[in-house]
Amino acid sequence: MSDPTRREIYARTPGGGVQLAASTDRWHLFDDHVHLAPHRGDDPRLRRFDAELMPFVDSLDRGALVVIDMQNDFCSPGGWTDASGLDYRACRAAIPGARRAVEAAHAHGMWVVWVYWSNRTDLRNLGAPTLYAFKHRPDQKGIGEPLGGGRVLTEGSWNAEMVDELRALMRDDDVRIEKVRMNGFVGTHLDQVLRTQGIGTLYFAGVNIDQCVATTMEEACFRDYNCVLLEDACATSSPDYCRQSVVFNAKQCWGFSTTTERFANPRPV
C-alpha cells in the first residue's frame, strides 16, 4: 500500500518524525537520527551510521565513496605542492584514512569513484582564473609546466597519478573521473555516472579538504545528493582553520560528518 503522505513536506511520519522533501527523495527526521531512505523500509542493506550532527540510516546500495585528488602532485615529494613550498606531508596525512575508506567501501559493495586532475597537454580546457589559482608568481610552476619527470597535473604524467598507497587499491570496475576544475562536477560526467547507477549518497575523502573536496561536496549538496564527509580521510596543506571551516559546514550545511571507523562499521537496522 502506498504511503499517502509521501508527497506532503513536513508531514508527520510513523514513529513521530517529520518528512523532509517528497516521494523517493524524502528523508524522515527524528529526534535521534535521520532516515535518508524511508521508501526502502524492507531493504536488508539498510544501515545506521554514527555521524554529526545526527546519525543517519541509509542503504549501502545507494552509496558511493568519492576519492578526490590523491595524486603525486599534492601528496608526494617532488610534486607540485612540494615544489611550491607548501607542506605535501600535510596532504599525505589523508592517505591512511583514504585507504581505510576505500577498503570499507569495497567491503560494503559500494562504488568507488576516483576524481582527479588530468588536464589536456595543450591546456585549452583552462581559463586564466584556474591557471592563476596554481601560479601566483612568474617563477612558480603552474598547471602543465614541466616539473620533475612530468608536467603539473597533466594527463599521462607521474604528477597526475594516484599515490602508490592508493593506486594499489584501485579496481578495474571502480569509476574514474578526470576533472579540469576544483569542483569535480564542472566539465565532467560525474553527475551522469552517479545518477545512472542509482547513487544518492556520497562519502567524501581526499585533498585538499578546503578546496577540491569542499567545492565538490558543496556542489553535490546543491544537486540534492546526500553528502557525508569522512574527516580522517581528508587533509590539506592550508592552515588548520581552513579544515575546521569545512568540517563545520559539512555538519551544518551540506550533510553529515563522520570517521572512517564509523563508515566501516555501521549497524544493521
Q: Alpha-carbon distance 2 to 167, whole Å?
A: 46
Q: Alpha-carbon distance 63 to 150, whole Å?
A: 35
Q: Alpha-carbon distance 150 to 83, whole Å?
A: 13
Instruction: Report whether 177 contacts 113 (CB < 8 A).
Output: yes
Given the residues 179, 232, 234, 251, the one annotated as active site: 179
DSSP lists the bridge partners of residue 63 as 201
* Cell, residue 46: 539498510
Given the residues 61, 69, 82, 210, the one annotated as active site: 69
Annotation marks residue 179 as catalytic: yes
Given the residues 75, 91, 212, 234, the one annotated as active site: 212
Annotation marks residue 174 as catalytic: no
Using DSSP, how many helices (H) and how many strands (E) does the chain show? 10, 14
Annotation marks residue 69 as catalytic: yes
Element (H, E) at 231: strand 226-235
Catalogue the active-site residues. 69, 179, 212
